[in-house]
Structure 1
Amino acid sequence: MNNYPHVFESIRIRGVDFKNRIEMAPPSPNRADRDGRVSREFIDWFKPIAEGGTAMIHVGNSVIDRAESSDEERQLDLGTDGCILPLSQFAEMCESFGCQASLEINHCGMDSDPLRIGHPAISASAIITPAEMERAKASGREPIPTMEMSHAKIKETVDKYAMAAYRCQKAGMKVCMIHGGHGNLISQFASTLFNKRTDEYGGSLENRARFCIEVLDAVRAKVGENFVIEFRISADEIHPDGMHFEETLQFIELIKDKIDILHVSAGIHGDFAYMRYWWQNSMMDRMYNVHFAADIKKRFPDLLIATVGSIMNIKDAEEIIASGKADFVAMCRPLIADPAMPRKYALGQEEDHRPCIRCQYCGKRLIMPRVIGCAVNPLCANIDEFPYGKIPKAELKRKVGVVGGGPAGIQALLTLCERGHEVVLYEKADQLGGNVITAASPKFKIDMQDYRDYLIRQAEKSAGTIQLNTEVTAEMLGAEQFDALILAVGADPLIPNLPGADLPHVHWAPDGEMGRVAVGEQVVIVGGGAIGIESAIELTEKGKQVTVLEMAPDLSNLFMTASGTMQDLLEKVEALKIPVITSAKLKSIDAQAVYYEELTTGTEHTLAADTVLLAVGMVPRHQLVDELRQSAPPTEVFVVGDAIEVGNIAEAVNSAFKIAVHL
């Protein structure tokens, strides 16, 4: 029985068959070769997604000429015919699974790195961008302004867009996406935020749309009628001086007859403050930009609309399409987290869908730079070793013990079982989950709650033996005669060595947040990292009077935390009017107050508190590890997750996988 008839309804556009309405929104996996060509590992990375049931895969930020447009490592370069043969291998791989291959054809214009391309970036106008100011500051140089494009350069660039699309077609593709949003070159012409020209390409909207229209006309002329053009747009750039929705509607009126599908996003990527509107984090609403697509569909009912932005599962996609808000649903991170998600929903296996937690780990790896990875899908960064996204069976079945039932321990259990080993997992608490339980406790962390439920459910369905309420000893493990041991025993909260830290009203912040301990009305949280700020938000919303003390001069350590960006957390703190005292060093605690030193002045202060919650860090359980690691052959004992180095869920899951998959 098909429970999602609208999502899985096929459609033909210009004779091109799309087997369902699911698109992969364009990722940039850093998997092209050094010359910007499709590589074997590039194809292998996308293969599980094509196999998993999506109708169309767009590859992100595929540039029309890498010599003048480059802002990432290992981007696809469509600037010469040499790209066609490698691209054909990608197209044929997708075709073998009934999936349409597509590239997001782009010129990033002003966001090109001058040092990467060897000359100033080009754009609609000469400006200095926020991204360039950051680059210049980091490298200790003066920022380099962009060069305003001449008429000859505009014509040359229009031709390059057309040739890029034509090369896609020559490689066997039947569709491409032209990137006209997020502050890339086309939108640099369209938006007055970037376009300061006074010629026929500047001023009125019709003039600012001229470059886009010329690109679309040139692409159509080159690829002909039997080729689908999808066009990506920012419905609203959000920036106060940017292009807003009402003007975007007028822009769409000018281009609607030149495209087949309008792909509706929002925001710009060259300025971090506005990136989150196209790359939402876990503090932001799901289906964040769907309302833009719905409103455009109402205005232009005959135009096929694709919507994108934190659409996390097929159930939500079904509602979007069934209600007429859009015709296609695009997802990226959810398909990275679980490439087989469409197939699982189609086959009634929804509970086995591995949910994305919107932690931004995938994007952070690209910025490092690294190949793309995923916090919850460790195969993502290791596809070159496991090219079909499949874990091979072990040649020799072994008896393996896993100590700890947090995310690292459960991932180890699942991977070992998939390898075919006999596995026993020990957890001292009465439930699985470890720190995922506390991470999922704030009510706004719905993504983490879904992941918690998935992780525990998969562990319970696994072939392994799970022993809860079991605090292991070296003797107990030794008696089991395990062939190998994985120690995922986690970390303990750091308790500062100062007067009053051991008083009965002093607790670890998540324990207070979750109601494991009594919390009074006047709460001081010590530590302004993610754990402390999330606890402050949760307790304030429960009606507590909360103050946060942080030793650092600001809260920049919250940048890109697991729950969202610093900006989102701090906006929440500001909205709730939570006092945050920075440059504050805790000195002591007594029954009624905390005492701290203001580091900038050396002044000491008193702050009333009937509850003190600590969020100053975690310490690996090294002593327990040392006690247990002699309980199996010494070369066959492995330490993973927080037990070896305190990190986040991504590091715990991926470290456990890398050990377990090789046992």
Structure 2
Amino acid sequence: MSTNYPHVFQSIRIRGVDFKNRIEMAPPSPNRADRDGRVCQEFVDWFRPLAQGGTGIIHVGNSVIDSEESSDEERQLDVGSDGCILPLSQFVEMCESYGCHASLEINHCGKDSDPAKIGRPAISASSIITTAEMMRAKMNNRDPIPTIEMSHAKIKETVEKYAMAAYRCKKAGMKITMIHGGHGNLISQFASRLFNKRTDEYGGSLENRARFCIEVLDAVREKVGENFVIEFRISADEINPDGMHFEETLQFIELIKDKIDILHVSAGLHEFDYMRYWWQNSMMDRMYNVHFAEDVKKKFPDLLVCTVGSIMSIKQAEEIISTGKADFVAMCRPLIADPEMPRKYALGKEDDHRPCIRCQYCGLRLILPRVIGCAVNPLCANTSEYPDARVPKASIKKRVAVIGGGPAGIQALMTLCERGHDVTLYEMSDKLGGNVITAAAPEFKIDMKDYLAYLLRQANKAPARILLNTEATKEILDSENYEALIIAVGAKPLVPKLPGITKPHVHWAPDAEMGIVEVGDKTVIVGAGAVGIECAIGLKRAGKDVVVVEMASDLSNLMMTSSGTMQDLLECVDDLKIPIHLNCKLEEVTDTAVLCLNTETDEKIEFPADSVLLAIGMCPRHDVVDNLRHSAPETEVFVVGDDVEVGTIFEAVNFAFKAAAHI
């Protein structure tokens, strides 16, 4: 059988090791190891769908060589002692059963180790105070703790730890491992002038700064032998003005290229201002860092190169490899969103591919901390309960009604149908999608547009009765005598009771983005959350005069609730010179202006406006819920999504899935 993606699915042998395709799972940190940092059944279950789905290599992120001096996450893998080998072999053999190679991203985070976790100051190439430590010190009301510059004895000891970690991977049955030399981890702390202030043979010139990396690679090769593949991760450019830039990185690659088998080309640092270059959000271009890999490949044509960064589909991977930009393509979030993506594309089922929306929720959960989850793939956070990424058929088939055709309602419909129930969905408007329709309205929301299209395709394929333009009243539901009910009617825009708020030129901001209402040339947007800012950007790009007013004194809380995209939204606001007025409480709308009160000075402020757009939040439809929740046996009625509490797509999709999985 021929494939539409021959380059992606072309096998390759490296050092006698056979790789069935060119797809790598870029290294996630799923927070699924046990308390001792060992592989456990929960860990294996989480990775099983990825191996089963057709990925060629699975790398496990941030697997530390010594947790007593390198720890910056909860429940991360520790390969610092031989006790890891036996449990690690379970992960290896699970992957092998699907023709997939298991690999660890071996790492020492150096300066980024949390002193509270390791009980001592962090070690690094030099003694510095990191931005992360300054933040920790501020939060805990203490002085920041500088890192300890590594002695020659400590350097030698650490080199040996890298080698032993790789050797333990081989002992567990692995045939490949990745060594992390990028993103400001320990190896790059030696390589980059940004962190390396040494004056000995490990500092100064590039050759000196590369010495630690070369010693690590040599020690690893000596320990693992010739029949083992070494992949090396690098930041092509650290982006920081004082960091390592691409031209110097090319010189660095020249020094190490003969010691590695695959070069994994990323970018950026762990520092907040630079992490988005390896963890791109939905405001950023797709295939963001591919140009770096392409230039590396041109410079070193004989070196096998892997590229990573917002590569969203197998189709994009095929374009990259077929044009010679890279030899391998690594994805993380797109495979978390749909572990079966490789298989779906190989079987010609591309339309069933569940797209990643780059909302950053998976990573934000690790910061909380929580086990890793996904906004659009509810099975991700529930792999122990559903280890084969499948919900079981229901023991009793029931007639179930789903009220609402937004993301929660559609997910409920899909899961109920998968379980074999007889499903009817009621949607009062003329189309499915709910608030995803408005979320996908801005022209730059390409990921959300793809997700909306996916939801509509899957809903239309489902063996369910879908009734559009139909309001589910209590009378209708009572007459149908449903055995179970999922209420997912969503939320409605919050409209304050203020003078002039019902004037004809006052609208909900997304209605303007979708072209439902006309907007004048001078618009005031009330609310500086993601909805308001996205609308302001779209209108400004369309040539409108836009002003944003916000009651809060700063945007810090809004930034924490915007799925990681607010920083880039605000940078776009700065570029477009859109004014945001803080401490502005809306008090009245007139025919020609918006009147606000400055909550700091008690001063009245007037903003001219021929259009006023509200983006001050949403409120649950509690009245609808309360009217419908007794139209089936009360123990069989589930309220999900924004009906419970206004939240994100994660809450809508994941809670709807759980309700449907338990009916």
User: What is the root-mean-square deviation in Å for CA atoms of aligned residues?
Assistant: 0.7
How far apart are residue 103 of structure 1 and its match? 0.2
Deviation at 1:60, TM superposition (A): 0.2
The runs of 4+ residues in structure 1 deviating greater than 3 Å are: 560-564
| Number of the residue aligned with 2:114 | 113
Distance 2:576 2:103 in 1: 44
Partners of 2:407 and 2:455 within 8 A in 1: yes
1:455 aligns with 2:465: no
- Tell me if structure 1 keeps the 8 A contact 2:361–2:563: no
| 1:118-157 correspondence to structure 2 within 5 Å | 118-157=119-158
Indicate the residue corresponding to 1:58 in structure 2: 59
- The superposition leaves residues 542-563 of structure 1 with CA deviations (integer Å, 9 ceiling, x where unpaired) of 1111100001112223325556
Do the aligned partners of 2:429 and 2:469 also contact (CA within 8 Å) in 1? yes
Q: Output the CA distance in 2 between the equivalents of 1:322 and 1:557.
A: 44
More off after superposition, 489-498 vs 219-228 = 489-498
TM-score in terms of structure 2 length: 0.99
Q: Is the 8 A contact 2:529 2:562 kept in 1?
A: no
Task: Give yes or no for contact 2:194–2:244 (8 Å, CA) kept in 1.
Answer: yes
Partner of 1:255: 256
Letter of the structure 2 residue corresponding to residue 499 of structure 1 = P
1:47 aligns with 2:48: yes
In structure 1, the residue matched to 2:35 is: 34
Matches within 5 A, 1:235-314: 235-269=236-270, 271-314=271-314
1:356 aligned partner, one-letter code:
C
1:240-639 to structure 2, matched below 5 A, reads: 240-269=241-270, 271-559=271-559, 562=562, 564-639=564-639
Read off the aligned partner of 1:14 and give its amino acid letter. Answer: R
Q: TM-score, normalised by structure 1?
A: 0.99
Write out per-residue CA displacement over residues 359-378 of structure 1, whole angstroms, 9 at most, x where no aligned residue: 00000111000000000000
Find the aligned partners of 1:610 and 1:565 in 2 and give their Cα distance.
Answer: 29
| Aligned-partner Cα distance in 1 for 2:100–2:430 | 45
Conservation of the 8 A alpha-carbon contact between 1:383 and 1:389: yes
Whole-angstrom CA distance in 1 between matches of 2:114 and 2:361: 23
CA distance in 2, matches of 1:543, 1:504: 22
> Using the alignment, how far apart are the partners of 2:591 and 2:542 within structure 1?
23
Once the two structures are superposed, the pairs formed by residues 140-219 of structure 1 within 5 Å of their partners are: 140-219=141-220
Cα deviation, residue 598, structure 1: 1.4
Distance 1:643 1:538 in 2: 29
2: CA distance between counterparts of 1:133 and 1:261? 36
Quote the Cα distance in structure 2 between the aligned partners of 1:153 and 1:551: 53
SS of residue matched to 1:559: helix
Residue 5 of structure 1 corresponds to 6
Contact kept, 8 Å, 1:473 with 1:628, in 2: the verdict is: yes
Instruction: Name the CA shift for 1:328/1:210 in 2 (closer, same or farther; >3 Å).
Output: same
2: CA distance between counterparts of 1:122 and 1:163?
19
- Separation of aligned partners in 2, 1:285 and 1:646: 29
d(CA) in 2 for partners of 1:171, 1:20:
23
Deviations 1:107-158 (A, max 9, x none): 0000000010000000000001000111111111111110000000000000
CA–CA distance in structure 1, aligned partners of residues 533 and 66 of structure 2? 44
Who is 1:16 aligned against? 17
Question: Partner of 2:274: helix, strand, or coil?
Answer: helix
Q: Please give the alpha-carbon distance, in whole angstroms, between the structure 2 residues aligned to 1:341 and 1:413.
A: 21
Asked if the contact 1:7–1:20 (Cα under 8 Å) also holds between the matched residues in 2, the reply is: yes
Is this contact kept in 2: 1:283–1:563, CA < 8 A?
Answer: no
How far apart are the structure 1 equivalents of 2:658 and 2:542? 41
User: Structure 2: how far apart are the matches of 1:73 and 1:221?
Assistant: 32
Q: Is 1:360–1:560's contact at 8 Å kept on the other side of the alignment?
A: no
Residue deviations 1:143-174, cap 9 Å, x none? 11100000000000000000000000000000
> What is the number of residues matched between the two proteins?
662
User: CA contact under 8 A between 1:505 and 1:611: conserved in structure 2?
Assistant: yes
Gaps of 5+ in 1: none
Amino acid at match of 1:165: A
What are the Cα deviations for residues 374-417 of structure 1, in whole angstroms up to 9, with x where unaligned? 00000000111111111110111001000000000000000100
CA distance in 2: counterparts of 1:144 and 1:478, whole angstroms: 65
**Once the two structures are superposed, what CA deviation does each residue of 1:310-347 show, in whole Å capped at 9, x if it has no partner?**
00000000000000000000000000000000000000
Q: Is the 8 A contact 2:360 2:563 kept in 1?
A: no
Q: Offset of 1:236 from its aligned partner?
A: 0.2
> Structure 1 residues 554-563 or 633-642, which shifts more?
554-563
- SS, match of residue 466 in structure 1: strand
CA distance in 2, matches of 1:561, 1:22: 33
For 1:319, the aligned partner's letter is E
Q: Does the CA contact (< 8 Å) of 1:378 and 1:654 recur in 2?
A: yes
Hey, what's the Cα distance between the residues in 1 that align with 2:564 and 2:506? 27
CA shift, 1:564, in A, is 4.5
Which consecutive residues of structure 2, in runs of 5 or more, have no partner in the other structure? none
Offset of 1:479 from its aligned partner? 0.5
